[in-house]
Amino acid sequence: MKDENVLELLSEILRFEGSVDMDKDYRIGWGWRHVKIWPATLAKLFKEGYIENVFRSNSFTGYRLSELGKRLLSAEKTPPQTHQGSKLAEADSLFADIIGHDGVKELLRASLLAEKPVHVLLTGPPALAKTLFLWDIEKAGGEKAIWLVGSATSKAGLWDLVAEREPRVLLIDEIDKMNASDTAALLTMMEGGRLVRAKRGRELNINNPLWVVAASNRCEKLSSELRSRFAVRNLNPYGRAEYLTVVKGVLVRSEGLSPELASEVANRLDGLTQNVRDAIRVARLAPQLGVDKAVKLLLGGLEGED
């Protein structure tokens, strides 16, 4: 197992242990279903000594983090202090897989490079690479970036997540679906304020400034105070020429099509759709059905059924 993987798994486990009462409700430890990590993976962590086995029966194996596991996590928490945001934005490869959107790239790079946070919200219709932008920042940020989807914030809540992992960048996809308490915490965090943890009445100071980059296709659903904390960047649907370029690029790079076949799909869809996901579906069915038939089945019988 690679070191990063181990750390990721252990922090996942730490987060779970922090969200429950281990001494009361999990005296026989947690099982793989609780932490959502496969038994075989847990067995490896156990073998390495990062988790300990506190209970075993025919139907349940209970674990908890070992001292070694905890030590590894806390060593990881005190990284050398650099301006992480800037390192991340300087990487040439950042956004290399995104075609076009030059203005958005420039804005995001500049925001991440700034001395103090400038938060950015990407909005706009589906399939315009909003999520891809967040992924790329996450990939570049490694441990210092946390990715979350608004509709599925962790059980422990945003507050604990940030307190535990102290990320530099928070990436929130579908931010319009985030629950009320996480949204309230976010409002404070974005201004570098203090938070009071509801559950245990403890305070958290955010020492390191936090950059937030978020995406949503419905900006109107966000409260005005949340919106006002962001530089809101609206992505417009692709024009025809842009659509052709994006589709060709995506099909070659991500779907493994030959440039010729990618062009054929792109040209066949020209004027029919603006949605890159349609092109991806056509590309996936084309080996079986051929491009024409795939287009016809997916986008409706344009020339009637044959």
Ligand X SMILES: Nc1ncnc2c1ncn2[C@@H]1O[C@H](COP(=O)(O)OP(=O)(O)OP(=O)(O)O)[C@@H](O)[C@H]1O
Q: Give the closest residue to 266 by CA, choosing from 99, 143, 122.
A: 99
Report the nearest approach of ligand X to the CB of residue 215 (Å).
6
CA quadruple 103, 109, 113, 114: dihedral sign: positive
> What tokens does 212 get?
């937030």
- Contacting ligand X within 2-61 (CB under 6 A): none
Q: Which is nearer to ligand X, 207 or 236 (CB)?
A: 236
Report the nearest approach of ligand X to the CB of residue 23 (Å).
41
Q: Does 131 bind ligand X (CB under 6 A)?
A: yes
Rounded CA gap, 68 and 49, in Å? 7
Q: Which one of residues 45, 99, 158, 171 is an interface residue with ligand X (CB under 6 A)?
A: 99
Q: Give the closest residue to 216 by CA, choosing from 125, 146, 133, 145.
A: 125
Q: Does 277 bind ligand X (CB under 6 A)?
A: yes
Site map 209..248 versus ligand X, x via CB under 6 A: ------x-x----------------------------x--
Q: Which residue has the tokens 């983090």?
A: 65
Please give the radius of gyration of the chain, using alpha carbons only, rounded to the nearest integer: 23
Rounded CA gap, 143 and 166, in Å? 9
Half-sphere exposure of 171 (CA within 13 A, CB side): 21
Q: Which residue has the tokens 């194996």?
A: 61
Q: Does 135 bind Mg ion (CB under 5 A)?
A: no
Provide the residue type at 86 as one letter: S
With CB under 5 A as the rule, give the number of residues binding Mg ion: 1
Report the nearest approach of Mg ion to the CB of residue 130 (Å).
5
DSSP-derived pairing of the beta strands 120-123 and 211-216: parallel
Q: Which residue has the tokens 């308490």?
A: 181
Helices (H) and strands (E) in the chain, counts: 15, 9
Q: Which one of residues 19, 53, 131, 188 is an interface residue with Mg ion (CB under 5 A)?
A: 131
Q: Which is nearer to ligand X, 6 or 246 (CB)?
A: 246
With CB under 6 A as the rule, give the number of residues binding ligand X: 19
Residues 113, 137 contacting (CB under 8 angstroms): no
Give the binding range for ligand X (CB under 6 A) out of 31-39, 92-100, 139-147, 176-184: 92-100
Give the binding range for Mg ion (CB under 5 A) out of 93-101, 109-117, 124-132, 160-168: 124-132
- 127 touches which of ligand X, Mg ion, none (CB within 5 to 8 A by kind)? ligand X
Q: Which is nearer to ligand X, 42 or 170 (CB)?
A: 170
Q: Does 147 bind Mg ion (CB under 5 A)?
A: no
- DSSP character at residue 30: B
Q: Does 273 bind ligand X (CB under 6 A)?
A: no
Q: Does 175 bind ligand X (CB under 6 A)?
A: no
Q: Which is nearer to ligand X, 160 or 174 (CB)?
A: 174
DSSP-derived pairing of the beta strands 231-234 and 120-123: parallel
Chain residues in the site for ligand X (CB under 6 A): 98-101, 126-132, 215, 217, 246, 250, 254, 276-277, 280
Chain residues in the site for Mg ion (CB under 5 A): 131
